[in-house]
């Protein structure tokens, strides 16, 4: 086989197979002068880059050629059998070798990494759909898919995904067998498409991978759980909570919070958590500052229902139920709600004034319109006939002897109506005066009607919101109630105390429902406050204890160190955090298994593994 040597300045040069290194060096020196190579050194980088691109492209062609050679394998085996060579892949192997030789003649280097990478990429691209093809074949047999519902997703993913996990032992065993079978089938198909001789290796690898990753993933989960449990025990030992804190669950919240936040139960940790509480309260205040949301008084009162039910289940509940009712009544009569109720008289008076003004302006407009019509009629020789039940309009009726003149009064007693000077004028000249006055009265009517509508809207808004309070006010009441009940949470109190707790909880829940994001902040604050209650006690104990204690009696350094570590909340806290962090570290097994459900990635692993068996 010819030898291909890269000569600086000349690229890859072909030498006869029988030449040794000394002969090749002499040939280069004799036939390639330094004057020729020196100018080309500047372009050697571009030459190498072009060679690399060519190798990559040739490798991709070679990968596609592997699949093409597999397609022709059956024909060539039959041809060899007819030629008396028996059933063998000898001709097919030669075909693959000829593809390499042909590409090498064109300048490709079959031993280069880029050539091999291109070949692998071509093989992966050509075999990625093998699982899908097998799945479609299974779908074509309805009886098969009905008997094994997870067969199709198993074939599509090479055994890595079954669609639904089993819950019984027999189901788990069946799933394990299905993973192995589907993985083996797709592995054999994908590897066999590249080279029939590697189908067996592909089947073994494909069958082993799903189960191996499944077991490794379960083992990782078990290790993580054990680490988490150890970290929680160590942190609880560092906290040393009271029996009451253990029973109420506050100790559990404190342990989880300290581990999640990476904080030690000492003075520095307490200070940090107090700062976090302040930050949360600032964030809550910022969210509430610009909000127009309100909290329903009745929705908060509804939280007393559970308290009434609890204290009503006794032989003498009247005193306790009365105390609960008193708490509710005082909430209803809170000064804020009283100030809201005090707005009612002013709103009702404003509506009444606007309605009266509107009616008076409309009456004046009617009189002025009538007056203009009467004067128009009189000017044309007509008369004015009034119904007996209608009193004569002394302001506007004609009083002249001939019926053609009228006396205009000096003023109209109707409020807001226009004023006209008194004089003797012809009836026809009085018409514009009446129409002008009508226009003025209607303008006054429109203004009074708008005032009435605004007053009505304000009253309706007050009526609809009289039983609610802004979230800013509700937040202040909640905080004030929590402060007054400090130290009473976590224990069963009197009926009055429990009723106040219920109202505070109602305020908190309703605020969270009214303003997005508040609920999460409230949960964080509650966890921190419970943790502070447990951790502050431990921090004070750390500050008051003897730094060395009985450790001075230890007989050796190791015992001294162990005793001091057991006494130190900071040491235990740090150790538990380290264990917890290690337990929470994401396992690479399950994510990798999910990714290997991708046929391209799985095909790559199978191709690499199967290719170790020989020529493709």
3-state secondary structure of 272: helix
pLDDT bucket at 389, cuts 50 / 70 / 90: very low
Distance of CA 336 to the CA centre of its chain: 38
The set of residues, in sequence order, having a beta carbon less than 8 Å from that of 296 and lying 6+ positions away, is: 467, 468, 510
pLDDT bucket at 403, cuts 50 / 70 / 90: very low
The share of the chain scoring above pLDDT 90, in percent, equals: 15
Comparing 523 with 59, the larger pLDDT belongs to 523
Q: Is the pLDDT of residue 160 over 50?
A: yes
Q: Determine the pLDDT at residue 610.
A: 52
Q: How, if at all, do strands 424-426 and 468-470 pair?
A: unpaired
Give the CA distances from residue 566 to residues 234, 263, 536, 544, 563, in Å, rounded to whole numbers and listed in that order.
10, 18, 19, 16, 5
Q: Is the pLDDT of residue 420 over 50?
A: no
Comparing 325 with 579, the larger pLDDT belongs to 325
Q: Determine the pLDDT at residue 245.
A: 81
Q: Determine the pLDDT at residue 387.
A: 42
Q: Of 103-112, 153-162, 197-206, where does the model show the most confidence?
A: 103-112
- The Cα 207–Cα 189 span in angstroms is 12
Q: Of 97-106, 438-447, 547-556, 570-579, where does the model show the most confidence?
A: 438-447
What's the pTM value of the predicted model, to 2 decimals? 0.45
Q: Of 13-22, 246-255, 392-401, where does the model show the most confidence?
A: 246-255
pLDDT bucket at 572, cuts 50 / 70 / 90: low
Q: Is the pLDDT of residue 480 over 80?
A: yes
3-state secondary structure of 400: coil
Distance of CA 373 to the CA centre of its chain: 74
Q: What is the DSSP string of 425-466?
A: EEHHHHHHHHHHHHHHHHHHHHHHHHHHHHHHHHHHHHHHHT
Backbone angles phi, psi at 165, to 5 degrees: -80, 150
pLDDT (tens digit, 9 = 90+) per residue, 73-131? 777 778 777 777 777 777 777 877 888 888 888 788 888 888 888 777 777 777 767 77
pLDDT bucket at 461, cuts 50 / 70 / 90: confident
Comparing 16 with 114, the larger pLDDT belongs to 114
Q: Is the pLDDT of residue 64 over 60?
A: yes
284 touches 475 (CB < 8 A) = yes
- The Cα 141–Cα 233 span in angstroms is 55
**Mean pLDDT for the stretch of residues 160-169:** 71
Q: What's the number of CA atoms in the CB half-sphere (13 Å) around residue 82?
A: 6
Query: What are residue 6's DSSP bridge partners?
Result: 12
User: Which pair of tokens denotes residue 367?
Assistant: 């009189």
275 C-beta neighbours (distance < 10 Å), count: 10
Q: What rounded mean pLDDT belongs to the chain? A: 74
Q: Determine the pLDDT at residue 206.
A: 65
**Mean pLDDT for the stretch of residues 251-276:** 86
241 touches 250 (CB < 8 A) = yes
Q: What is the DSSP string of 551-581?
A: GGG-SSHHHHHHHHHHH-HHHHHHHHHHHHH
Comparing 303 with 17, the larger pLDDT belongs to 303
The mean-pLDDT minimum among 24-33, 172-181, 534-543, 587-596 falls in: 587-596
User: Long-range pairs for 77-86 at CB < 8 Å and ≥24 separation?
Assistant: none
């Amino acid at each position: 086989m010819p030898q291909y040597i890269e000569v600086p300045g000349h690229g890859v040069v072909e030498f006869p197979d029988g030449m040794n290194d000394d002969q090749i060096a002499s040939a280069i020196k004799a036939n390639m002068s330094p004057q020729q190579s020196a100018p080309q050194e500047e372009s050697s980088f571009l030459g190498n880059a072009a060679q690399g691109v060519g190798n990559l492209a040739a490798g991709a062609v070679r990968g596609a050629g592997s699949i093409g050679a597999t397609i022709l394998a059956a024909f060539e085996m039959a041809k060899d059998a007819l030629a008396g060579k028996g059933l063998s892949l000898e001709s097919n192997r030669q075909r693959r070798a000829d593809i390499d030789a042909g590409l090498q003649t064109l300048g490709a280097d079959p031993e280069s990494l880029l050539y091999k990478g291109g070949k692998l990429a071509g093989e992966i691209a050509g075999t990625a759909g093998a699982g899908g093809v097998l799945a479609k074949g299974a779908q074509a047999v309805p009886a098969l898919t009905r008997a094994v519902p997870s067969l199709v997703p198993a074939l599509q993913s090479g055994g890595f995904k079954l669609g639904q996990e089993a819950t019984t032992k027999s189901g788990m065993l069946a799933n394990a067998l299905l993973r192995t079978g589907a993985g083996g089938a797709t592995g054999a198909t994908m590897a066999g498409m590249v080279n029939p001789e590697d189908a067996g290796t592909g089947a073994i690898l494909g069958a082993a991978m799903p189960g191996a990753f499944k077991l490794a993933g379960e083992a990782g989960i078990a290790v993580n759980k054990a680490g988490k449990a150890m970290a929680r025990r160590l942190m609880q030992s560092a906290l040393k909570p009271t029996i009451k804190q253990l029973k109420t669950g506050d100790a559990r919240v404190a342990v989880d919070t300290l581990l999640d936040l990476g904080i030690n139960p000492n003075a520095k940790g307490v200070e940090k958590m107090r700062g976090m509480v302040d930050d949360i309260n600032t964030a809550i205040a910022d969210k509430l500052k610009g909000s127009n949301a309100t909290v329903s008084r009745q929705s908060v009162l509804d939280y007393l229902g559970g308290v009434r039910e609890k204290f009503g289940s006794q032989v003498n509940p009247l005193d306790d139920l009365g105390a609960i009712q008193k708490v509710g009544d005082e909430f209803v009569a809170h000064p804020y709600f009283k100030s809201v109720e005090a707005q009612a008289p002013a709103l009702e008076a404003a509506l009444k004034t606007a309605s009266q003004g509107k009616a008076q302006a409309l009456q004046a407009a009617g009189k002025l319109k009538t007056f203009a019509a009467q004067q128009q009629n009189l000017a044309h020789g007509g008369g004015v006939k009034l119904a007996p039940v209608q009193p004569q309009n002394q302001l506007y009726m004609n009083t002249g002897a001939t019926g053609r003149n009228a006396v205009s009064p000096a003023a109209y007693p109707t409020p807001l109506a226009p004023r006209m000077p008194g004089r003797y004028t012809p009836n026809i000249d009085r018409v514009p005066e009446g129409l002008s006055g009508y226009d003025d009265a209607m303008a006054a009517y429109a203004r009074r009607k708008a005032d009435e509508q605004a007053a009505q809207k304000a009253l309706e808004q007050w009526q609809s919101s009289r039983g609610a309070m802004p979230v800013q006010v509700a937040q202040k009441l909640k905080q004030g109630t929590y402060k007054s009940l400090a130290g009473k949470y976590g224990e069963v109190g009197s009926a009055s105390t429990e009723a106040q707790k219920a109202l505070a909880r109602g305020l908190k829940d309703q605020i969270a429902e009214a303003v997005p994001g508040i609920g999460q902040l409230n949960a964080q604050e509650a966890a921190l406050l419970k943790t502070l209650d447990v951790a502050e006690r431990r921090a004070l104990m750390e500050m008051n204890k003897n730094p060395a204690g009985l450790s001075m009696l230890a007989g050796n350094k190791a015992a001294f160190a162990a005793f001091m570590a057991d006494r130190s909340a900071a040491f235990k806290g740090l150790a538990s955090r380290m264990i917890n962090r290690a337990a929470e570290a994401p396992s690479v097994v399950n994510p990798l298994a999910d990714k290997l459900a991708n046929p391209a990635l799985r095909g790559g692993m199978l191709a690499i593994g199967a290719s170790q068996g020989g020529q493709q």
